[in-house]
Amino acid sequence: MATQSKAQFLNDVHTLLKKRYKVKPESDATRLSVLEAVIYGICHQGTTREQANQALSRFKDEFFDWNEVRVSTVEEIQSALAGFPNPEERAQQIRRFLRQLFERTYGFTLDALVKKPLKESLKVLSEYEAFQSDYVTATVIQLALGGHAIPVDELTQRALQRLGVADADGDVAALRGVLERAVPKNRGLEFCDLLEELTHDTCVAGEPICPRCELKKVCPTARNRKDETSNTKAPKVEAKVETMAPKGTQVKAKPTQAEPQKPTKAAKTPAPPANPAKKGKPKGPK
Ligand code: SF4
């Protein structure tokens, strides 16, 4: 798909998804501190924004401050991530980030970066291990640094592959570039939210639920699956004969091989025993 047609296609996808899903208006106003955006990004990858928001609230409510999170055990941090996939891995990422941040700044804020040019801020942030994740980087750009970024996690990538936008090679950074060129900044957050709805509603893992997807008419995967289904349906010859027969005519369907044949008279007669000598005396008349 050429870049221009990808942009048009993604615009159509956006419009169709907007018809189906109601995106909360506050998503336009979401703005987090850099630190919060890092934690949010770690929590949001492969989950929903409600889950990520809940986790962020739990860290704020259940821990005294970010320093307490830093000195907590992985199990304690995991308690704020109940119901998340890979909670231990996420807890470790969060703690590592807070430790690195404290070692470098003796504090828990990175908000001075908001005033710097984006490139400069990203250079500083790239020294933190958490920023090895393209998803976390894009989340921080989008929600804290005021730049244009569209975070792509595995679920979004899967949906975009099915839609023919993402290449099969799985290059997330390249895919993000395509999306960011095609979707304008002022629609970026809404686009992300709509895609998230799609990946948790119909474009799910395993078998996507294409028949009730708003994108089924524009999605190549849905079209292929439909073609495959109609190709695997074997034509029913007998049924055709019956339909074509004039009204009132009874057409007997030809028995198939699997169908049991009606026994003939000969078949009804019991076969003689293989070795009559072995049989007992035949019963005489009484
Ligand atoms: S039509 Fe099917 S494969 Fe395509 S986006 Fe919708 S659910 Fe996913």
**What is the reported pLDDT for 23?**
79
Instruction: Work out the mean pLDDT of the chain and round it to a whole number.
Output: 84
248 band by pLDDT with thresholds 50, 70 and 90: very low
* Mean pLDDT of all residues in 187-198: 95
Does the pLDDT at position 278 exceed 80?
Answer: no
* Mean pLDDT of all residues in 167-187: 91
**What is the reported pLDDT for 228?**
80
Nearest to 141 by CA among 159, 160, 120: 120
Tell me which of 39 and 265 has the higher pLDDT.
39
Does the pLDDT at position 276 exceed 60?
Answer: no
**What is the reported pLDDT for 4?**
56
Does the pLDDT at position 187 exceed 60?
Answer: yes
Nearest to 114 by CA among 30, 49, 32: 32
Rounded percentage of the chain residues whose pLDDT exceeds 70: 78
Q: What is the pLDDT of residues 126-152, one digit of tens each?
A: 999 999 999 999 999 999 999 999 999
Contact 16 CB / ligand 1 (< 6 Å): no
Q: In which element (H, E) is residue 21 found?
A: none
Contact 203 CB / ligand 1 (< 6 Å): yes
Nearest to 135 by CA among 95, 104, 175, 194: 175
Nearest to 54 by CA among 89, 88, 33, 79: 79
Contact 213 CB / ligand 1 (< 6 Å): yes
Task: Tell me the best of 157, 216, 217 to mutate to test the pocket of ligand 1, counting ligand atoms within 8 Å of each CB and taking the most.
Answer: 216
> Which domains does the chain carry?
1-29+153-166+184-231 (1.10.1670.10), 32-145 (1.10.340.30)
Is residue 156 a contact partner of residue 141, using CB atoms and an 8 Å limit? Answer: no
**What is the reported pLDDT for 170?**
80
* Mean pLDDT of all residues in 177-183: 95
* Mean pLDDT of all residues in 34-63: 96
3-class DSSP state of 205: coil
CA of 174 to the centre of ligand 1 (A): 22
Q: Which amino acid is at 185?
A: K
Contact 17 CB / ligand 1 (< 6 Å): no
* Mean pLDDT of all residues in 51-65: 96
